[in-house]
């Protein structure tokens, strides 16, 4: 089953979910990103991202891409598709979803999603290996995350490779697999801490990494000062 959004490409070509077909027709622009599950395609004058839902960790060795069928609305691809559509309607800088697919295989299903490709954007991790961020950019990142949290969106993997900055110095958030809306709670600061750990990990592996305590403090200060004040980190997690 395929769910489509005609805002960017109309009509969408369902066979774009078939990598062999896309490659044979010259639509593949770049392949093998992020554990091999993502491809950049150029179709109908637009660059889009085709991402397959793949398992990680030990489970990946025995089951690479199948998930238990619990109804189409609960599939990984359809849930991310609907969440992205809603976040776009709220003005958040996240990719526009173009199409989502589920393919049943007995009691299981495989899934994929096609998203708008953010033009001229790079990951926060890659940018920090080359030099410091422009003035105010750490604050912009903090505000962007707070805008997401104000809408009660939990990002399941908020790390420095899922924060993008484009050539106009705009901050984008990507990869909302397993993300969802929930009540306010400690998870909000846990999201922030997850981002911090990923930055420290990248810094530990890089010859140069342009981030220090003042940069992080700027992000957190702006995050906590935005909108309705500081987060109550003692609130009960939903």
Catalytic (active-site) positions: 157
In three-state form (DSSP H/G/I as H, E/B as E, the rest C), the secondary structure along the chain is CEEECCCCCCCCCHHHHCHHHHHHCCCEEEEEECCCCEEEEEECCEEEEEEECCCCCHHHHCCCCCEECCCHHHCHHHHHHHHHHHHHHCCCCCCCEEEEEEEEECCEEEEEEEEECCCCEEEHHHHHCCCCCCCCHHHHHHHHHHHHHHCCEECCCCCCCCEEEECCCCEEECCCCCCEECCCCCHHHHHHHHHHHHHHHHHHHCCCCCCCHHHHHHHHHHHHHCCCCCCCCCCCCC
First to last CA, the chain: 32
CA 88, CA 106: separation in Å to the nearest integer? 34
User: What whole-number distance in Å separates Cα of residue 236 and Cα of residue 177?
Assistant: 24
């Amino acid at each position: 089953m395929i769910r489509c959004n005609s805002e960017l490409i109309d009509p969408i070509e369902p066979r774009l979910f078939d990598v062999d077909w896309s490659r044979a027709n010259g639509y593949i622009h770049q392949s093998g990103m992020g554990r091999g599950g993502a491809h950049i395609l150029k179709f109908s004058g637009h660059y889009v991202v085709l991402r397959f839902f793949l398992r990680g960790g030990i489970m990946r060795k025995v089951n690479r891409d199948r998930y238990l069928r619990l109804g189409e609305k609960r599939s990984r691809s359809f849930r991310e598709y609907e969440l992205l559509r809603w976040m776009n309607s709220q003005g958040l800088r996240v990719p526009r979803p173009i199409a989502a697919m589920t393919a049943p295989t007995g009691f299981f299903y495989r899934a994929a999603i096609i998203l708008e490709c953010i033009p001229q954007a790079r990951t926060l991790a890659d940018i920090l290996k080359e030099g410091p961020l422009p003035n105010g950019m750490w604050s912009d990142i903090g505000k962007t995350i707070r805008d997401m949290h104000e809408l009660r969106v939990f990002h399941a993997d908020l790390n420095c490779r899922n924060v993008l900055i484009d050539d106009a110095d705009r901050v984008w958030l990507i990869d909302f697999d397993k993300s969802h809306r929930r009540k306010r709670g400690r998870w909000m600061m846990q999201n922030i801490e997850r981002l911090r750990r990923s930055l420290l990990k990248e810094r530990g592996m890089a010859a140069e990494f342009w981030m220090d305590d003042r940069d992080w403090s700027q992000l957190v200060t702006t995050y906590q000062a935005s909108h309705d004040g500081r987060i109550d980190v003692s609130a009960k997690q939903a």
